[in-house]
Each structure stands twice: as structure tokens, then as C-alpha cells.
Amino acid sequence: MNQQQNRRQVKQFFFLYIIIIFALLLFVGVILGNILSKKHLPSLYIKHTTKAIEGSIITADGFQVAKSEKLYKAVINTHYLDPDKKELFIALFSIYSGIPKKTIIKRLAHKKGVVVLSYNIPQKEAQYLKQLSYELRRFKVFRSLKNPKTGIYVMQGLSVLESGESRQYPYKTALTPVLGYPKKVEHNGYTLSKGVKGLEKRFEMELSPRSDGKIEGQRDVNGYILLNKDSYVKEPQNGLDIQLSINLGVQIRLEHMLDKMKKKIKAKEIFLAIMESNSGKVVALASSNRYLPKDIKRSDYPSLNTSAIEFSFEPGSVIKPITFSILLQKHLVNPYEIVNGHNGRFRIGRKVITDEHRFKWLSAEDVIVYSSNVGMAQLAQRLSGADFYEGLRRFGFAQKSTPDLVYERKGKILPAIKLENEIYKATTSYGYGMQVNLMQLLRAYSAFNNSGKIVQPYLVTHFIDNGKKIPLSHSEPKEAISPTTANRVKKILIKTVLKGTGKKAITPGLVIGGKTGTAHLVQKGHYVHKYNTSFLGFANDRDHRYTIGVVVRQPKTKHFASQTAVPVFKEAVDILIEEGFLNPDVIQ
């Protein structure tokens, strides 16, 4: 009996021993499994990318007329928002972001889970919201939830992320349409700007962001990167800044003046350009037709073009000094010789040429002073077609005028073979049958104020890379006519202002010269009683020389250049005086 009982006890101890061994093995297996299994622990080393932004466009007097600002989006996951603290979150987010509470409530109610509260948060507000994000974590406005897959508790708070950049124009319509405008493009969910017109288009490559910044390093318990000797920091390389030669103070005053003059003479548009005669540096390039680059309406479409280069027109009598200088250069005219005015009516072939002011006889230089088509048509017959064509080309016509603007219409001049024809030669001599733009005229007229050399107009003086200037090379002046010829025509242009069609441009204490142009418009193949008028000339004091051009499109109250373009020129000169760009030598 005792023997059987002992055997039973041995068996029980044996089974108990087996169970203990099995349990021990199971425990060891679980422990080893936990040790050897892949953990879902958050990384202690993180990376952060900072997007580079577009460069700015800066005027000569230091104002940023176009710049980029980063935009941010604010994102939360509503599942992590503590229901008991929802009202607190809405109140605080509204205060920090400036978004009304009703808007936030509506967005939170619209969708559960990941909700974007705003896509267009400016940089300043974004900094406030990042600070708010830290405070919300501290006050446990967001709760931790267990991940069903990993079993780990996670918390997702308020995230403030870069969403793109926005192009800003602080001075509204100023310097449009020269500045141009951009369009928005999406790249990997990030909003960028792409130039469409004007300087924004021409210098799109230089303005574009070059490389993003990067920060890598260990993080703290709140997920912020610890900046120490082991961290890596690469600064973003933003786009280059563009430095303009245009003075914003002068530009805005000229634009306001053009607005008033446009209304006064009921013109379709008035635009002007002011340039240093010896360098080509453009001080102002203004138009009465402007727009808001960030709010372009259908009614703005006609104003999107920079008329100074994109509006090509028959210039009329402002070409007469060019023709006359080619004749002088070829020794084919004497300024004092007498020309038959034919009492204001002269026939060449089948064409009858007329003058507004009738003369029987006048000197060759007075053909310019009093703007005689009849006199100029006769003098031009002395030029060969080849000499006339080459002379116009030397002044820069039918060629691009400036490297700093896009979509220029180069215009046209008749080929040498056609200029052999006496009618074509006559009409071209006083500015019909050819197409030019204002910048081409500005360049051509610089010769009369720069000893015969034409200069290439430019608007950009240099680039700026993180405060460092990157100089640009500009074209050297080119001789169109000799200094002797230029100075002789310059005197005639001064006489034109003192005694001829430019009298309203007289400014005591300054040397003013110039020539008017009034040209019929062509509609359906015929000249009609609609006009473009212009005045090209110069304004000099002892130290400064400026070439100035004005174009008035389709004035309605008056149509002569002496009544439309010349008064605009005079107003522009007065503004230059008031802004200190010209100093009249007036005897008290």
C-alpha cells in the first residue's frame, strides 16, 4: 500500500516538474521574443526641411515692390482632441490665427479625422501657432490614443506645416505693368509662383528658389531638434533679389500725373519713359493703365502689356530729326539752305503731301522746328534707299531695344529696295510706313544728347545674393552719328521747343529740346481721324542729362502732340525738379 502511494507521489512530482519546466520555458520565450522583436519606438534623430523662397524686386530707393512670403497650413486630427477641451482649443486657435470661431467650428464639424483648418496662414501668424501648439500639448488639450496595430500610445497635436509661398505687391498698382504678374503652380503639394509677364517673367530663373534648407539632429521629448555640435544645419538658398534703376518715389508721382492727364484729354492710354542719356539707366517707366497683380480682372486684360515695348505704332514727325541727322551725316543738307514749302501742299507721284502749317519757303532746319512734311519729303529724296535704311538701323530701329523686358515688338522699317521708291522714301521720312516702340525712340533720341552715341535702356542694375551685389554688364554706347551732327540736331531740337511745336515744354533754368509727333491711325486699311501723339526730347541741367519720351494713345479732346504729349512731358520735368533729379540754373 505504501509502495503504491509512493509511486503516485513520484508521478505527481514528475508532472508538476514538467509543468514548471514548460511554464519556465514559455516565460523565457516571451521575454526573448520581446527582446528580439522589432520595436516601434519613435526615432531620436529627426530631419526638418525649410523651403527656400523667391527673390524680391527692389527699387533704386530701396523699396521691395515684389516679394514672397511663406504660407503655412494648420492641421489637426480630431480623434486626438479632448472633447472636454474642444471649446478651449477653438478659442485659442481663433485668437492666435485670426480666423473667426464660427469658421473653425464649421471646419471641425465638416469632417472627422485629419482636418486642415487653414491653407493660407502668413509667416507671422504661423510662428504664433507653433508656440500655441507647444502650449496645447502642455495643457493636454490633445490626448494620447493606443495604436491598435502596434499597441503603442501616440498623440497628434496641432501641426503647422509649410504649404507654399505667396507673391506680395506692397505698393499695389505701382510699377505695373512693368513688374508683370505670376501664376500659381503646384509642385508636390507645395504652391509656387511662376512669372507670366514683365520683370517677373524675364527674370524668373534668377528669382526662383535655388535650394531648400535642412536641419538634422537629435530631438527632445517634445519633438524639437536639439542644436548642438552633432546637429547639421544647411541654410536655404533663396532666389536672387533684383535691383532696379527705377526710383519708386518718382514713379508713383508720374503715375498719378498720368492718371490725371488721361482723364483730362480722354486718352486710351498715356505712357512715358525717362532715361539717363549717357548710361541708359531708366529712372522711370510709367503708364496710366495699371492693375493689381494679385487681383487681375477681365477689364485689366488690355493693361497687362508693357506698352513701352509691346505697343508698336507709326511714330509720325518724331522721326524727322532722325531723317535730318542721316542727311547731315551724309553731307546732303545744309541747315540754312532754303526749302520750298509749296504753300503746304506737294505732290510726289500719285501722293499728295500736306502740312498743317503752310509755308512758301523755310530753312532746312525750320522743316524740323515747324514740322513740315512737305519740306522733309523733298529733302529725303537726296538719300539712297540703302543709306536711308542703314541710317535707321544705326539708330536701332527694327531691333530689340532692352534686354530687361520680354515680348518686345521690334517693329519694322521698309527694306532698302523699297526705300528707293520716292513715295516710300517721303512717307518714311516723316514717320509713316514704319513701326516703332517708345523704348526704341528713347534709345534713338539719346544720340542727340550723348554726342551721337545711342545707349541701350536698362532697368536692372545688379542682382543681390544674400546681401552681396552681383554686378551686371551693360551694352556699350554705339555711334549712330558723329558728335558734330548730333550737336547740330540738338540745337535744332532746342529751337523747336523755344520757337516751334514744343513751346509748352519750356522750363526756365534747364536746357530742353524735343520734337512732336502726331500720326493718324489705320483702321481697315485706311487712315482715320484718330491719332497717336508723342514727344521725344531731353531735359538737362549742369550735371544731369535725361532723355524723355511720351506717347498718348487716341486722345479725344485734342489731337495735336503740342496739346497732349508736350504738356505731359512738361509735368514729368517738373516732377524731376521737385524730386531733386534736375536742378534749374535760375538767376534770382
Q: What average pLDDT values come out for the chain (588 residues) when binned by 10 residues?
A: 63 70 70 58 66 95 95 90 91 91 91 88 87 87 85 85 91 97 87 93 96 79 65 88 98 98 97 98 98 95 96 97 98 97 94 92 97 97 98 98 96 97 97 97 98 98 96 95 98 97 96 96 87 98 97 95 97 98 83
Q: What is the pLDDT of residue 25?
A: 72
Domain of residue 498 covers 248-290+307-462+477-578
Distance (Å, rounded) from C-alpha 214 to C-alpha 37? 33
Same domain flag for 162 and 256 = no
Count of other CB atoms within 10 angstroms of residue 29: 10
Are 157 and 194 part of one and the same domain?
yes
Q: Going by DSSP bridges, is the β-strand pair 468-471/545-553 parallel, antiparallel, or unpaired?
A: unpaired
The pLDDT score that the predictor gives to residue 119 is 83
Dihedral sign for Cα atoms in the order 377, 383, 384, 387: negative
Specify whether the CB–CB gap between 505 and 574 falls below 8 A.
no
Dist CA 133 CA 135 (whole Å): 5
In this structure, the answer to whether residues 239 and 322 fall within a common structural domain is no
Amino acid identity, residue 152?
Answer: I
Please report the pLDDT score of residue 191 as a whole number: 85
272 shares its domain with 217 = no
d(CA 13, CA 8) in angstroms, rounded, equals: 9
Please say which residue of 209, 244, 279 terminates a domain.
Answer: 244
Shared domain check, 194 and 276: no
> What's the confidence (pLDDT) of residue 390?
98
Query: 131 is written with which cell numbers?
Result: 508656440
Residue 187: per-residue pLDDT: 82
Residue 542 belongs to a domain with what CATH number?
Answer: 3.40.710.10
* 254 and 234 housed in the same domain: no
Same domain, 259 and 232: no
Q: What is the model's pLDDT at position 153?
A: 82
> How open is the CA angle 345-351-357, to the nearest 5 degrees?
25
Are residues 513 and 484 both part of a single domain?
yes
In this structure, is residue 8 part of a structural domain?
no
194 and 260, same domain (yes or no):
no
CB-facing half-sphere around the CA of 404: CA atoms within 13 A: 27
Considering the domain architecture, whether residues 281 and 172 belong to the same structural domain is answered as no
What integer pLDDT is reported at residue 190 of this predicted model? 85
Residue 295 lies in a domain: no
Task: Identify whether residues 422 and 314 lie together within a single domain.
Answer: yes
pLDDT given for residue 41 in this prediction: 47
- Structural domain count, the chain: 2
Nearest to 375 by CA among 391, 388, 360, 390: 360
Grid cell locating 370:
515747324
- Examine residue 586 and state whether it is found in any structural domain, yes or no: no
CA distance 166 to 72: 10
Q: HSE-up of 135 (CA within 13 Å, CB side)?
A: 11
Which residues, in sequence order, are CB contacts of 170 under 8 Å at separation 6+?
Answer: 63, 64, 65, 67
User: Do 307 and 299 meet the contact criterion of CB atoms below 8 Å apart?
Assistant: no
The verdict on residue 7 lying in a domain is: no
